[in-house]
Structure 1
Amino acid sequence: MATSRRPTLADVAERVGVSAKTVSRVLNSDGPVSAATREKVMAAVTELGFRPNLMARNMRVGARDSTIGLIVPQIANPFFGSVADGIEDAIRDRNLTLLLGSSDEDPEKEQVVVSSFLARRVTALMIVPSVDGDHRYLRRERSSGLPLIFIDRPGSGVTADAVVSANTEGTHDGVAHLIAHGHRRIGFIGDVPSSLYTRKQRQRGYRATLQAAGIPYDPALVADAHSPTVAGGAVRRLLALPQPPTALFTANNFASLGALTTLSADRRKDVALVGFDDLPLADLLEPGLSVIAQDPAMLGREAALLALSRLDGDRTAARTATVPTRLIPRGSGELPPPPG
């Protein structure tokens, strides 16, 4: 047999001297085969290095593959890498494999990747939904029993399981921490667009915390940012106000990076800062960056456990699991407001 191609079912059958149907029965435990023949087939499989084409088999018999599909906005984002790690840790003992795809925050591309995964007959589908995406096209798959879990943000147009961070509660903890250190004018730099689920939840926490402390909400202290550069410009605009903020709450890691860069470049060590989501090496800064830390690995793990529960027969109503956040004070959020 030539070594330039992968061995086939027919190659195994020829080596043993049986029909391809007999080999198929052995590999799929489907139908009567003598113990001696089974032993010869498995020996030939090992010797030839034969690997069954599971996708072709699944398409043929209508079964689902032993894979879970995960679609994220950006594969390069370490946050989503940690989500994937959490999923893999939870599914490894079930002999499931994780397939990863990227939507680039584009709803149309997301749907293309979803279609590709569905064509592969994935066992379950997990999606970090794109901004302004519409998932009504998944209603049929959801009704057919495919486990569908949205991560970080709920989906739109379809009732399905979701796993999210405690966005409102985490923001409350961060803003309340700044208030406890004497700040009354606290800027908020959020995500773009303002319709984004996490943005809405975090701004809700910001406003509610101010209200509970008797601090009027000032829209002039709220800015949007979709990148560190834009966030840096927003910081400068806020600090140039006649009554500038003495503290900032940055509602995502891009905003935190932009704020850190600008405050450092302008040598502003008098502005307190708390960021939502941790950053690598945040504890090595001077002062260290105080953050509301998410647990992306736990988001992935909880999503995987939901999927496994559905695969094991759980037919209860769709539910949303919330993963707690935690405040990590490192110095930047503990700076007092300037005197006067």
Structure 2
Amino acid sequence: MTTHYGARPTMKDVAARAGVGLKTVSRVVNGGAGVTPGTAARVAAAIGELGFRRNEGARMVRTGRGGGVALLLEDLADPFSATLGRAVEDVARRHGSLLFSGSSSADPALERELALAFCARRVDGLVVVPAGDDHRYLLPELAVGIPAVFVDRPARRIEADAVLSDNAGGAREAVEHLIRHGHRRIGFLGDRPHIHTTTERLRGYREAMAVAGLPVDEAWVVTGPTDAATVTAEVDRLTSGAAPVTALFAGNNRITFGALQRLPALVARPALVGFDDLELAPLLTPGLTVVAQDPAGLGREAAELLFRRLDGYDGPPQRVVLPTRLISRGSGESAPAIR
């Protein structure tokens, strides 16, 4: 067979070169089952020799898919978001789909703008780490068949699939760990109070204190901005005065960073447990004790759920909760300092 210069090779050309049927080529190209490794290798060799490329436009018409899914994160540069996003991308690639990503910068208005812009460009579905607390703007998109899976935090004011960490359980385990090491005055440093992860982690903190029969002074509970200046100021306040806290539970990695910047300057350094692991946590002195989430697992579960929806699953919205893990490295194991 001779392919004319400039002509685009077709599946028929590949089938003839490989000596197989057209359906066999289609299975190989689209990742289908039922092809022996030897036959798949012959088809792959023919594809390489001919320079064949799948016609995505035709596939879109045939399958009704646009060939891509969208991921909305708070910050693409954040390590947690980067790991989650890579996992979503890996699943999308296995399903023959492109991934488009955008950052909301924790701005509900920008989240809405990006989500609707992706939908206007005919993405097949959305994976959303939400910034806002009202997702009714997605109802028209859901109604026309664009599924959305929310990850890390659930959707608000609509029913939708969600993949979450066990935030309350992880926080409870962290505070119980500090209590076992002798701490009774434990401070909670959290993100903004309306955020789902903040409320759940605060719930876990309060539950652990209550089970241990320990009172919670509301002055020990801080929720709000997580910039370094605010966090260091709150660390100073919590660790000073007549009855300072002897341990801190930091509600996310941004807060942990802020606390770590301040702790070396304190005369009596409090014990510290952070929620979210940090890449350099084992290298600190002492090593940082953390409640580790599984961002890759969150991304993978969310993406697989999205593609199940795209493949026709129409059951009720699901909520998947992944466990967390306490990693002891030293910062959360010190006994209360004597004052």
Question: TM-score, structure 2 length as denominator?
Answer: 0.82
Cross-structure match for 1:196: 195
Structure 2, gaps ≥5 residues long: 14-20, 22-45
Establish whether residue 303 from structure 1 lines up as the match of residue 302 from structure 2.
yes
Q: Secondary structure at the match of 1:286?
A: coil
Deviates more, 1:260-269 or 1:209-218: 260-269
Q: Do 1:142 and 1:160's aligned partners in 2 also have CA atoms closer than 8 Å?
A: no
Q: Secondary structure at the match of 2:118?
A: helix
Cross-structure match for 2:207: 208
How far 1:267 sits from its partner (Å)? 5.0
How far 1:53 sits from its partner (Å)? 7.0
Cross-structure match for 1:79: 80
Q: Do 2:75 and 2:81's aligned partners in 1 also have CA atoms closer than 8 Å?
A: yes
Question: In structure 1, how many angstroms separate the alpha carbons of the residues matched to 2:112 and 2:96?
Answer: 27
Q: Which amino acid aligns with 2:80?
A: F
Cross-structure match for 1:282: 281
Q: Do 2:10 and 2:52's aligned partners in 1 also have CA atoms closer than 8 Å?
A: no
How far 1:62 sits from its partner (Å)? 9.8
Q: Name segments (4+ residues, structure 1) moved above 6 Å.
A: 23-27, 46-51
Alignment CA distance shift 1:245-1:95 (3 Å): same
How far 1:336 sits from its partner (Å)? 0.4
Cross-structure match for 1:328: 327
What is the percentage of aligned positions where both structures have the same residue? 43
How far 1:123 sits from its partner (Å)? 1.5
Q: Do 1:231 and 1:254's aligned partners in 2 also have CA atoms closer than 8 Å?
A: no
Alignment CA distance shift 1:143-1:157 (3 Å): same
How far 1:49 sits from its partner (Å)? 8.7
How far 1:26 sits from its partner (Å)? 8.4
Q: Do 2:56 and 2:67's aligned partners in 1 also have CA atoms closer than 8 Å?
A: no
Alignment CA distance shift 1:141-1:86 (3 Å): same
Question: In structure 2, how many angstroms separate the alpha carbons of the residues matched to 1:322 and 1:79?
Answer: 17
Q: Do 2:189 and 2:251's aligned partners in 1 also have CA atoms closer than 8 Å?
A: yes
Cross-structure match for 1:233: 233
Question: In structure 1, how many angstroms separate the alpha carbons of the residues matched to 2:113 and 2:301?
Answer: 26
Deviations 1:138-197 (A, max 9, x none): 1122233322101111111211001111100000000000000111000011112x1111
Cross-structure match for 2:29: none
Establish whether residue 170 from structure 1 lines up as the match of residue 161 from structure 2.
no
How far 1:312 sits from its partner (Å)? 2.1
Cross-structure match for 1:246: 246
Alignment CA distance shift 1:75-1:233 (3 Å): same
Alignment CA distance shift 1:308-1:50 (3 Å): closer
Q: How many residues align?
A: 307
Structure 1, gaps ≥5 residues long: 1-11, 18-22, 28-34, 36-42
Deviations 1:109-159 (A, max 9, x none): 1122112211221121111111x3421011122233322101111111211
How far 1:91 sits from its partner (Å)? 2.7
Cross-structure match for 1:30: none
Alignment CA distance shift 1:147-1:173 (3 Å): same
Deviates more, 1:206-215 or 1:302-311: 302-311
Q: Which amino acid aligns with 2:255?
A: A
Alignment CA distance shift 1:16-1:282 (3 Å): closer
Superposition CA RMSD, Å: 3.0
Deviates more, 1:118-127 or 1:201-210: 118-127
Deviations 1:79-126 (A, max 9, x none): 111001111222322111111111111222112211221122112111
Question: In structure 2, how many angstroms separate the alpha carbons of the residues matched to 1:245 and 1:86?
Answer: 39
How far 1:210 sits from its partner (Å)? 0.4
Question: In structure 1, how many angstroms separate the alpha carbons of the residues matched to 2:12 and 2:135?
Answer: 41
